[in-house]
């Protein structure tokens, strides 16, 4: 964004106005679909304003990590294809994609959203590995919240394939039971512009922001927090952010019907 455009966004914020006419603590319209991709074990499509993200779940049988021999494995990847934004470049994941995957991973892992012990097949030998693949289709800001919502919806939509232990073969065409989901983590991202705090920043607001703060809530509790983009937040601002996220959590779950 050019400097005059950033100054325009900041001037709007100073006048208590916002692009699109939203209130500072109002999210954009949220639309979701699940079960779109037949080749995936679970999937979801999320549209948050004009930001669009697709999430797919794949599962395979792997050897567990030595320190968790009786627990399944979680791996989160994010893809930023050039068609989603002129700022994205082809090639391996950049810093933004890596950060996005880590924030989503942390929210799911720290909330214990998945009962990993139920993904154990043979302790110390074989467990289910859950791969979450996030694909950005259009970036109009706040990829974290769109991806986090997509991830939990896709996990809730997932059915575990049949595993033939005798032949050590996963039969992907046959499904057994839903993934053991125990919590529903949802991230809420706030941007600080000047001395104002905004929920769910659009792309223009992200480019004008001084700092970013994401808090992930699950069942009324904080399970992860992430600060980014330099800048700072006061203790009071963080308290207000957490309070707002707690309030929005119930409303978003109602919208998602989960």
CATH number of 20's domain: 3.30.230.70
Asked if residues 191 and 172 have their Cβ atoms less than 8 Å apart, the reply is: no
How sure is the predictor about 84, in pLDDT bands with cuts at 50, 70 and 90? low
Assess if residue 218 is contained within a domain. Answer: yes
Nearest to 238 by CA among 251, 255, 225: 225
Assess if residue 6 is contained within a domain. Answer: no
Asked if residues 82 and 90 have their Cβ atoms less than 8 Å apart, the reply is: yes
Give yes or no for residue 218 having a pLDDT over 90: yes
Assess if residue 124 is contained within a domain. Answer: yes
Give yes or no for residue 210 having a pLDDT over 80: yes
Q: Angle formed by the axes of helices 235-256 and 143-156, to 10°?
A: 40
Residue 88 has what pLDDT? Answer: 65
Assess if residue 72 is contained within a domain. Answer: yes
SS3 46: strand
Domains identified in the chain, total number:
1
User: Beta 73-79 vs 126-138: how paired, if at all?
Assistant: parallel
Contacts of 158 (CB under 8 A, 6+ apart): 41, 42, 57, 59, 130, 178, 179
Assess if residue 60 is contained within a domain. Answer: yes
Assess if residue 222 is contained within a domain. Answer: yes
Give yes or no for residue 26 having a pLDDT over 60: yes
Assess if residue 146 is contained within a domain. Answer: yes
How sure is the predictor about 114, in pLDDT bands with cuts at 50, 70 and 90? very high
Region 53-71: mean pLDDT is 97
**How far is it, in rounded angstroms, from Cα 210 to Cα 191?**
7
Assess if residue 133 is contained within a domain. Answer: yes
Global pTM value: 0.94
């Amino acid at each position: 964004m050019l400097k005059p455009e950033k100054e325009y966004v900041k001037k709007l914020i100073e006048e208590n106005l916002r692009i699109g006419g939203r209130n500072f603590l109002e999210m954009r319209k949220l639309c979701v679909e699940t079960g779109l991709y037949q080749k995936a074990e679970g999937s979801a499509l999320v549209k948050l304003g004009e930001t669009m993200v697709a999430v797919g779940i794949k599962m395979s049988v792997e050897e567990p990590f030595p320190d968790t021999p009786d627990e399944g494995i979680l791996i989160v990847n994010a893809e930023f294809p050039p068609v989603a934004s002129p700022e994205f470049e082809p090639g391996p994941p950049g810093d933004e994609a890596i950060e996005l995957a880590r924030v989503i991973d942390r929210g799911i892992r720290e909330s214990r959203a998945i009962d990993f012990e139920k993904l154990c097949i043979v302790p110390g030998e074989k467990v289910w590995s859950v791969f979450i693949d996030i694909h950005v289709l259009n970036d109009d800001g706040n990829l974290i919240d769109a991806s986090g919502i997509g991830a939990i919806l896709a996990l809730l939509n997932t059915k575990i394939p049949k595993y033939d232990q005798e032949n050590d073969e996963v039969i992907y065409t046959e499904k057994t039971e839903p993934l053991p989901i125990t919590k529903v983590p949802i991230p809420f991202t706030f941007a600080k512009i000047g001395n104002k705090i905004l929920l769910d920043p659009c792309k223009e607001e992200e480019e004008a922001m001084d700092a970013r703060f994401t808090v992930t809530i699950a069942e009324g509790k904080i399970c992860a927090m992430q600060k980014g983009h330099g800048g700072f937040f006061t203790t009071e601002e963080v308290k207000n952010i957490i309070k707002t996220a707690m309030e929005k959590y119930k409303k978003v779950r109602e919208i998602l019907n989960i």
